[in-house]
Structure 1
Amino acid sequence: MQSLKEQLAALYRADPDVVSVVAVENPNQLPSLTDGFDLLLLLVTRSRERANHLHHYIKEQVHIQEKRIPLAELEASLLGDSRSLIQWLLKGEIVLDREGRLEELRNKVLEFPAELREHKLLLEFCRFLRMYLQSKEYLLAEHLLDAYNNILEALQCWARIVIIEEGHHPEIAVWRQIRYMNPGVYKLYEELTTSKETVKQRVQLVLLACEFSVMSKMERCCGPLLAILEGREEPWSAAELRQHPALADIQGELPLLLGKLVKKSLIREVAVASESELLDLELRYTK
């Protein structure tokens, strides 16, 4: 396998558009890591000309999957929620790295700096809030299986929040990771999935735990948003916040999150004269 990787690296070295290559082996036949292929090759490119190009082939009886991703997109994805990309970067072998950019990214992921942790906490809390509130709504409407599915998603977000707070990247197999890190959260997962109580009772139990434990983390998890609101004297409009580059990953969740922060008195809602003739007052937000 090593000689094959060296051959492929030599081929990619002849392509000036390929900046770096990560080779991820699958020796234990774990399909979740390499999508079932013997070898996954992640090609980092300068241009977007063949962005996200996918190529499957066989070489020396090895089934290979080749994926291309522009460098800028890779950097943005690592800030977001691409756990697969993080796993490939951490577990794969860098076989080509012309400018050392991939090694820099790997070191950044390994160090998990505070800025990256804060960003990921905000992402997970937004997902948690959406799933948690939807579960409550479904429960009230007696849509029990939908309520169960959403609270399970919310509980997974809670587990990832705990892992991030501990300074680790959430893995794909999050429950294996959380089992010994936080037995309390894992116990809730067991109660939800294996308890002999009714589905409704199990959902109610986890909703109650979420209300007391995770909702209390709102100020902590929303640090990047609160810092932006506090960063200037005049209040921000919803449109301005949606356009802020640091909030690009949560654009769709901002209205819900802002409303919840107002209700918890963590931010203030201010009515100002609107520039539009169609509106009398515009709602803006400030710390």
Structure 2
Amino acid sequence: MEDILRPLYQERTSQQNTLGVLLVEKNEQNRAFTENFNAILLIIVQEAEEAVFTKHYVDQRNETASMYIVTENQLKEWMLLGTNRKVIEWLYHGRILFDRNEYVYNLKTEMKEFPFYGRKMKMTIEFAKLIKRYTDGKAFFNDGHYLDAYNHILHSLHHLARLSIIENGYYPELTVWNQVRHIEPEIYKLYEELLTSDEDLQKRLELLFLASEFLIHSRTERGAEHLLSLMKEKEWWSINELLNHEEVSHYSVDLVTLMEYLIERQLVRSVSIQTKGHGIFHRYYQINKEI
């Protein structure tokens, strides 16, 4: 397949804008990774008019290929946020066809050795998603909406698994449960119990909330470290200041729920500041000085 695809990328390798080219070929183990195409051609460029450009091809043998041209900034955003894991999987497992100044080699090394840039932020992104899903799931459970609670706790376990993988110094792959089964079997067992237990759904959820609570609480300081470190820069913060902070923007959608959880865990406290109106106060947030 590489010989057929060579004309598609060869011209680009002479351009200074091209940083690297990788090839992922379909086999029995990676069908999900390649979107059922016979091959994926990933081309990384410094800049382009479109952050992502895609083309599909078919040859005389009816074999298919998909070409993705991705900018460096877009790729790094995906690496940080984990929002396009299939592309990260291609980068991780893809065979290097072209590599300018070992750019792709260095990216692969960062992923395999981990920590890479933004590790603390990545942990807080996952932790914020975990707390949001867990909190909403518990609220649905208490209201008797067990199917909605099931959906949220399933997602929260997924974020807990990814957080555990990052915490142990690995990069979360697409097959996250295969990873976590070896890294932290306790979390895998919770996931298995949720899916396969003979207990009725209400009882299953009740037991799972109890069992997962300790696993979540024990990770609070490490999981929220990025936010807690940032908050030490000032005496107190308004919620708007935090929501609009450049680094917090990556998990701002879950920030309010996370802040309430941190207050409950006594890592953050709220401060009341008098407004012009009688009996009305601004609510500010500050790090608990005891931590």
Equivalent in 85, 103, 106 of residue 105 of structure 2: 103
CA displacement at 1:203 relative to structure 2? 0.7
Identity within the alignment, %:
32
C-alpha distance in 1 between matches for 2:162 and 2:13: 38
Over 3 Å counting, the alpha-carbon distance change for 1:147 and 1:176 in structure 2 is same
Cα pair 1:43 1:69 within 8 Å, conserved? yes
Which stretches in structure 1 are left out of the alignment for 5+ residues?
none
C-alpha distance in 2 between matches for 1:48 and 1:271: 48
CA displacement at 1:243 relative to structure 2? 2.4
Equivalent in 180, 183, 188 of residue 182 of structure 2: 180
Q: Deviations over 1:253-276 (max 9, x none)?
A: 1111111111211012122356x9
What is the TM-score with the length of structure 2 in the denominator? 0.88
Structure 1 match to 2:33: 33
Cα pair 2:110 2:116 within 8 Å, conserved? no
C-alpha distance in 2 between matches for 1:33 and 1:150: 25
Cα pair 2:113 2:170 within 8 Å, conserved? no
Give aligned pairs, total: 284
1:175-214, aligned counterparts within 5 Å? 175-214=177-216
Greater CA deviation, 29-38 or 121-130?
29-38
C-alpha distance in 2 between matches for 1:115 and 1:221: 16
What RMSD over aligned residues (CA atoms) do the two structures have, in Å? 2.3
Cα pair 2:114 2:170 within 8 Å, conserved? yes
C-alpha distance in 1 between matches for 2:98 and 2:182: 37
1:1-287, aligned counterparts within 5 Å? 1-15=1-15, 17-28=17-28, 30-59=30-59, 61=61, 62-81=63-82, 82-113=84-115, 116-232=118-234, 234-272=235-273, 281-287=281-287
CA displacement at 1:85 relative to structure 2? 2.5
Cα pair 2:47 2:71 within 8 Å, conserved? yes
C-alpha distance in 1 between matches for 2:15 and 2:116: 36
3-state DSSP class of the match of 2:66?
strand
C-alpha distance in 1 between matches for 2:57 and 2:14: 19
C-alpha distance in 1 between matches for 2:10 and 2:130: 45
C-alpha distance in 2 between matches for 1:262 and 1:101: 43
C-alpha distance in 2 between matches for 1:20 and 1:114: 19
What is the TM-score with the length of structure 1 in the denominator? 0.90
3-state DSSP class of the match of 1:265?
coil
Q: Deviations over 1:13-39 (max 9, x none)?
A: 255543322211112263311111111
3-state DSSP class of the match of 1:236?
coil
Which stretches in structure 2 are left out of the alignment for 5+ residues?
none
Greater CA deviation, 57-66 or 86-95?
57-66
